[in-house]
Structure 1
Amino acid sequence: MCGRFAITLPNDAMAQLFSARPANALPAVPNFNVCPTNQIHVVRSSETGRHLDALRWGFLPHWYKSETAGPLLINARSETLAEKPAFRDACRARRCLIVATGFFEWTKSEQGTRLPWYIHRKDQEPIAFAGVWQDWGADENRQGTCAIVTTAANENLSSIHHRMPLVLEPEDWPLWLGEAGKGAARLMQPGANDVLAFHRVDPAVNSNRASGPDLIEPFDG
């Protein structure tokens, strides 16, 4: 799964990387502790090209009467994405890329203490998570919402968690965004073992109120 991540790439650099037109109001960067329900950076594609937008992290199905009417859907399992009522329409027609620099997962010590790990690309490039999105609400309350697609962890990350976000390589972005026709289902599998690296980080990140670049630095304590 993915419950917290970091984004440090400037907005203009994100727009350039994804060849996307940036929205006028995008979340402030850097943010070293992005949490569920935050506004996050999302790349979507339409007939007018790619757009870099701000969406709520926490997918809201159309039948939710309020933001808290059901479970907080921050992740969507790739294995059931096309079948679950909440996600099946979005899986077919509303796929997106969610931009990150790295993400956090937790293990437990023998004493039960939560130990955070920071996971990032070995080549230090930004990460593009596969995502799905949904507009929710009406009139002035209308907002875009999204979830990160997850898959079984590859061998490299399985020692930390049994799930991981679906990480897409640049050559796969057009297919996931629907620009290259059908067949996106073939992308929904664990990525290569040699793409991501990880290290322990300060337990300060256990708090969703923590902030600052120290949260992603190696920690030996």
Structure 2
Amino acid sequence: MCGRFVLTLPDDEMARLFGAAPANDLPPVPNFNICPTNRVHAVVSDGAQRRLTAMRWGFLPHWYKTLTDGPLLINARAETIAEKPAFRAACRERRCILPATGFYEWTKDDAGNRLPWYIRPADGAPIAFAAVWQLWERGEERLVTCAIVTTGANDAMSAIHHRMPVTLAPDDYALWLGEDGKGAATLMSSAPEDRFVFHRVDAKVNSNRAHGADLIQPLVA
């Protein structure tokens, strides 16, 4: 799965990398501890133009009457996304990309303590999470919400967790965003074995109130 991530790219750099026009109300960066329900950067396309906009991380199906009417859907499983009522329309019609620098995952020790790991691309390149989005409206309340698509972990990542986010190569952005026709389902696979490297970090990142660049520094024994 993917439950926390990091974004350090400036807005103008993200706009350049994705060829997207930036909105005026984007969340502040850098952010070293992006948590569910936070506002996140997202790239969307109408087929003619890409936009870098803000969304709420935590997908709200249209039938939710309140923000807490059901489980918080921060991830969508690639294997079932086209069938699940919450995601199947979004999978066909409302795909987006969430930029990231890295993300966190957790293992447990023999005592059950949660041990955080920071995961980043081996080449230092930005990450493009495959995601889907949904407009949720109730009365005057209007939120654009999203979920990150996940798949089974590759062998390297399975040492930490059995799931991992679906990540896109630059040549795949247009297909995922619906600009190159159909076939986006072919992109929902695990990353190559050498795509990511990872290291343990301090347990203070377990708190959603923790912030700062020290969160991603290797843990010193």
Q: What is the TM-score normalised by the length of structure 1?
A: 0.98
Which deviates the most, 84-93 or 118-127?
118-127
Structure-2 separation of matches of 1:171 and 1:112: 41
Structure-2 separation of matches of 1:129 and 1:201: 22
CA shift digits 1:31-81 (9 cap, x unpaired): 000000000000001144100010000000000001100000000000000
Structure-1 separation of matches of 2:52 and 2:163: 27
Structure-2 separation of matches of 1:19 and 1:218: 33
Structure-2 separation of matches of 1:141 and 1:47: 27
SS of the counterpart of 1:185? helix
Question: 2:28 is aligned with what amino acid?
Answer: A
Q: What is the TM-score normalised by the length of structure 2?
A: 0.98
Question: 1:81 is aligned with what amino acid?
Answer: I
Structure-1 separation of matches of 2:204 and 2:95: 33
- Is contact 2:81–2:88 with CA below 8 Å preserved after alignment? yes
SS of the counterpart of 1:193? coil
Equivalent position of 1:210 in the other structure: 210
Question: 1:162 is aligned with what amino acid?
Answer: H
Equivalent position of 1:118 in the other structure: 118
Alignment of 1:157-168 (within 5 A): 157-168=157-168
2:6 paired with 1:6: yes
Displacement after TM superposition at 1:114 (Å): 1.0
Equivalent position of 1:182 in the other structure: 182
What fraction of aligned residue pairs are identical, expressed as a percent?
Answer: 65
Structure-2 separation of matches of 1:24 and 1:101: 21
- Is contact 2:65–2:138 with CA below 8 Å preserved after alignment? no
Equivalent position of 2:23 in the other structure: 23
Structure-2 separation of matches of 1:85 and 1:113: 35
Structure-1 separation of matches of 2:75 and 2:117: 19
Equivalent position of 2:145 in the other structure: 145
Alignment of 1:39-188 (within 5 A): 39-138=39-138, 140-188=140-188
Displacement after TM superposition at 1:125 (Å): 1.1
Structure-2 separation of matches of 1:202 and 1:19: 36
Q: How many residues align?
A: 221
Change (3 A) 1:139 1:50: farther
Equivalent position of 1:192 in the other structure: 192
Runs of 5+ consecutive residues of structure 1 not aligned to the other structure: none
- Is contact 2:39–2:54 with CA below 8 Å preserved after alignment? yes
SS of the counterpart of 2:193? coil
- Is contact 2:102–2:121 with CA below 8 Å preserved after alignment? yes
Displacement after TM superposition at 1:208 (Å): 0.7
Displacement after TM superposition at 1:220 (Å): 2.5
Displacement after TM superposition at 1:197 (Å): 0.7
Change (3 A) 1:66 1:139: closer
CA shift digits 1:116-168 (9 cap, x unpaired): 00001111111000000000014641110000000000111000000000011
- Is contact 2:176–2:184 with CA below 8 Å preserved after alignment? yes
CA shift digits 1:157-206 (9 cap, x unpaired): 00000000001111111111111110011111111111111111111101
Structure-2 separation of matches of 1:88 and 1:108: 33
Displacement after TM superposition at 1:113 (Å): 1.6
Please tell me the root mean square deviation across aligned C-alpha atoms, in Å: 0.9
Give 4+ residue runs of structure 1 displaced > 6 Å after superposition. Answer: none
